[in-house]
Amino acid sequence: MLFMMAMFAWVAGLLYDLSMSQFLAQNSEIILRLTVAVGLGLLVGAERLLVHKDAGMKTHALVSLGSAVFVLISEMMVQKYINLPGLSPTMIPAQIIVGIGFLGAGMIMFRDSRTRGLTTAGGLWVTAGIGMASGAGFYSMATIVTILVLGILTIVNILERPIRKISQDIDEYKN
Mean pLDDT by 10 residues, the chain (175 residues): 62 63 82 92 86 79 86 82 78 81 77 75 87 89 90 84 81 77
Distances 15 to 12, 22, 24, 26 between C-alpha atoms, Å = 5, 10, 14, 16
Give the integer Cα–Cα distance in Å for 120 and 94. 21
pLDDT score recorded for residue 9? 63
Give me the residue spans of the domains in the chain.
Answer: 28-174
- pTM recorded for the entire structure: 0.66
Give the integer Cα–Cα distance in Å for 79 and 134. 18
Give the count of beta carbons closer than 10 Å to the beta carbon of residue 56.
19
